[in-house]
Chain A
Amino acid sequence: MSISRRHLIGAAGAVSMLPAFGPEAWAQAKDKVVIGMSLEPPVLDPTKNAAAAIRSIACPSIFESLGRIDRNGEIKPNLAESWKISDDGKEYVFKLRSGVKFHNGEALDASVVKFSVDRLFAAESTVPAKSLYTDIEKVEAVDPTTVKITLKSPNSYLLYNLSLGDAGIMHPKSASTNDKQPVGTGPFTFKERKEGDSITIERFAGYRDLGDIKLKTIVFKVVKDPSAQVSALLAGDVDTFPGFQAPELVERLKKDARFAVVVGTTEGEVIMATNNGKKPFNDLKVRQAMAHALNRAELIDAESGFGTPIGSHFAPHNKAYIDLTKTYPFDIAKGKALLAEAGYPNGFEASLKLPPVGYAQRAGEVLASQLGKIGIKVSITQLQWPQWLSEVFKERNYDLTIVAHTEANDLDRYARDGYYWNYNSPEFKAKWREVVATTDFAKRDELLKVCQRIVARDAVNGFLYQLAKIGVWKKELVGMWQNDPSPSADFSGVYWKA
């Protein structure tokens, strides 16, 4: 066994002889788009797993719901072409669109909708969003195109919740295999999945209205690493990142004439969640002191300037929003005084447990130093996501943490018993019951304002900023959503400009 120079040269030659092909993505047809995703969905069935990535790929492109949430966050008809709500808010009658077919050829009728909605709240159901639907008492198929849903008690958010991807309508024959082979009624059918790499969907020829569906093929490519996301865009492997995750790299893309960088809004309130059940955070004065220590401008700078300041747990683009950022204005002296009043003239020590998400990592150090200025010595602990879920969220073993609450209409968390903030306010609970029970949406907006004020006044959490949606796409790609009213994949009206 000896190695001669001839062998070495031979082997090196074999490697250099490999052909040098360019990326396939160059030869792009005008009806195909490659969308970059930061997270990979484990499965493709929104009733099996809570991952937002599932909704950003499959809802409503594959699975449609009774209503749909449009790009402005409004509820529009989808599988239901109209609905009537009884005066007491307890009966919803949906008129279904006729002639709707599933991708496997099965027809949609009231019995299918009943099957699908029943699954959401059934006793043995393991649907992640089950709690959104437990107010439903029964679902009846009145006739083939009419479904009646009766509630135990009125819920003014039911229509919204039934329009979410979580309530995607599935057929009894394909429901159990939707995790791998999703079959819905949407404008796109599932084609293939390469785990760890990509998911491809194609236009559904049997869709009821193809007028708005210009794209033929959509490939979702998983690119987790932020610098790899930039190279994928620059090299032309990916046409767009609708939710670009690295604000610090945006400048690089803005300079490139090929791309449009479009900043919009999300439903994500970034908060410094606070354990209201633990000393010293159970003291309102301590929480007020911390609120005075918050310098939101500086926190938003850490996000490279992306984000809108918030003073309560409510999205600024919502029409019921009121600006409460001045409830406890930035004032170090006031913060120190309040801490002294609460019995902590020299401050105290606190832990800040951070989940492994970009915004929390970027805000962590800044927030620790801001609290340090009023005497709170913050030590930072890094947690993996599953650890954060168990330790902080479930066991409530924490002082402070930073997290974005990305669900729409999530002010209801302040009325929940045993939620991880340990906030318990009979006043808020009573108001929230009114919000849910009202059938008058104008009145609901007024009630929501009262709720925002209660939460801001009680300084339940540190309210930092509303997370921005940074969309990056090739300039020729038209119709992408600027805002992210709910995690969804609506590609109607998206096309390539010739």
Chain B
Amino acid sequence: MIDFLSRRLAAALLTLVLATVVVFAIVEVLPGDPALVMLGTDARPDTLAALRAQYGFDQPLTVRYLHWIGGLLSFDLGSSHAYGTPVAKLIGDRLAVTLPLGALALSWALLVAIPLGVFAAWKHGTASDWGVMGFTQIGISLPNFWFGIVLVLAFAVTWRIFPAGGFPGWRQDPVGSIHALILPALALSLGEIAILTRVTRSAMLDTLREDYVRTARAKGAPERTVLFGHALRNALIPVTTVAGLIAGFLIAGAVIIESVFRLPGVGQLVYDSINNRDLIVIKNVVILFTLLVLVVNLAVDLAYVALDPRPRVAA
């Protein structure tokens, strides 16, 4: 068990180090001059040069890389060039929107998809099963930004029970903030619900064919216990894997959904930073997300161990 975890941890660390190199390289080769973006088309060459020197853009690549890594190791993320705000504060403020949004969307997805998948597997081959499959087909095909716009038109413009967008802020209005995240989370989760429903259904179909399920039924266990107690627990392993992967997609989807719903989240921050060539923000956000995905993957590995003892031994 310890061995399994330490190996996973070492791999995650190595990935992180490699990621810093790749992220740095990609961000640095992005065409575009941050000083020119800040000063615009009337900027004089001497002004541009002065600003570049001020931000250290004229330093050699290795110096800039080491400077950045040194900052990361001492938990100093530096300051945004465009906003002049410390990057840590900038990211912290935005995570306060994106993390709850992602968590809400993932909860939605799990809450709807697992029962729906179990139901479809239970009703395998019937009209209900076909109905659920049809729904997932639509869910996968609809772009989530379009679904978001439809939700806004229905719930915000016509019925006015949800705001059309914006975010009041946790401190100013906590209830209003949750309220503002419901529609975006719904829009964000649609595709994930569809995928997770399909995965749950097929995993359930596999486990329902297993001997132990037949044994459980044979010994007279109620159908509810058979489905949720015996079959679902095993079926949850692939579902957990996919849910972990989906967490990454949710972050990517958040860029678009945050724009439709005007949420000041990390997705918007990345988008704006790329457009402003705010290199230090892009680098740090991407590394933070890499870290997040690694942590989610580790958590998924741990969840396997909890759900199924076999990897503990096999690894």
- Binding partners A and B: yes
Say yes or no for B114: interface residue by CB 8 A criterion: yes
Say yes or no for B182: interface residue by CB 8 A criterion: yes
Q: Are A126 and B51 in contact (CB under 8 A)?
A: yes
Chain A residues numbered 346-372 whose CB sits less than 8 Å from any CB in chain B: none
- Chain B residues within 8 Å of A126, by CB: 39, 47, 50-51, 54
Q: Are B94 and A389 in contact (CB under 8 A)?
A: no
Say yes or no for A180: interface residue by CB 8 A criterion: yes
Question: Which listed segment binds A: B17-25, B57-65, B203-211, B255-263?
Answer: B255-263
- Chain B residues within 8 Å of A42, by CB: 38, 82-84, 276
Q: Are A128 and B42 in contact (CB under 8 A)?
A: yes
- Chain A residues within 8 Å of B54, by CB: 126
CA distance A190 to B162 in the complex (A): 29
Q: Are A223 and B39 in contact (CB under 8 A)?
A: no
Known: A42-B38, A196-B268, A231-B149. A387 touches B168 (CB 8 A): no
CA distance A51 to B33 in the complex (A): 15
B interface footprint on A221-254 (CB within 8 Å = 1, 0 otherwise): 1111101100110110100000000000000000
- Chain A residues within 8 Å of B166, by CB: 197-198, 221, 232, 237
Q: How far is the CB of A169 from chain B (nearest CB, A)?
A: 20
- Chain A residues within 8 Å of B160, by CB: 22-23, 235
Question: Which listed segment binds A: B121-129, B135-143, B228-236?
Answer: B228-236
B interface footprint on A10-53 (CB within 8 Å = 1, 0 otherwise): 01100100111111100000000000000010110000111100
Q: Are B179 and A50 in contact (CB under 8 A)?
A: no
Q: How far is the CB of A28 from chain B (nearest CB, A)?
A: 14
Most chain B CB neighbours (cut-off 10 Å) among A48, A126, A132, A394: A126
CA distance A51 to B276 in the complex (A): 10
Of chain A, the residue at the smallest CB distance from B37 is: A386
Question: Which listed segment binds A: B68-76, B151-159, B213-221, B293-301?
Answer: B151-159
CA distance A12 to B165 in the complex (A): 23
Q: How far is the CB of A341 from chain B (nearest CB, A)?
A: 35
CA distance A407 to B82 in the complex (A): 22
Chain A residues numbered 116-130 whose CB sits less than 8 Å from any CB in chain B: 124-130
CA distance A4 to B84 in the complex (A): 50
Q: Are A391 and B31 in contact (CB under 8 A)?
A: yes
Of chain B, the residue at the smallest CB distance from A394 is: B36
B interface footprint on A385-413 (CB within 8 Å = 1, 0 otherwise): 11101110110000000000001000000
Chain B interface size, as a band, is 35 or more
CA distance A384 to B31 in the complex (A): 9
Q: Are A232 and B165 in contact (CB under 8 A)?
A: yes
Q: How far is the CB of B281 from chain A (nearest CB, A)?
A: 11
- Chain B residues within 8 Å of A40, by CB: 272
Q: Are B107 and A11 in contact (CB under 8 A)?
A: yes
Known: A231-B153, A391-B31. A50 touches B165 (CB 8 A): no
Chain A residues numbered 147-174 whose CB sits less than 8 Å from any CB in chain B: none
- Chain A residues within 8 Å of B36, by CB: 386, 389-390, 393-394
CA distance A3 to B43 in the complex (A): 62
Say yes or no for A179: interface residue by CB 8 A criterion: yes
Say yes or no for A8: interface residue by CB 8 A criterion: yes
Q: Are B259 and A1 in contact (CB under 8 A)?
A: no
Q: Are A5 and B37 in contact (CB under 8 A)?
A: no
- Which residues does B use to contact A, with CB under 8 Å? 30-34, 36-44, 47, 50-51, 54, 82-85, 90, 93-94, 107, 111, 114-115, 149, 152-153, 156-157, 160-169, 175-176, 178-179, 182, 224, 228-229, 232-233, 259-262, 264-265, 268-269, 272, 274-277, 306-307
10 tightest A-B CB contacts, nearest first? A50-B40, A196-B264, A386-B32, A235-B164, A42-B82, A128-B39, A231-B164, A197-B264, A386-B277, A387-B31
Sampled A-B contacts (15; CB under 8 Å): A2-B229, A18-B178, A20-B161, A21-B179, A42-B82, A128-B39, A130-B44, A195-B264, A196-B264, A196-B272, A197-B166, A231-B152, A235-B164, A386-B34, A387-B32
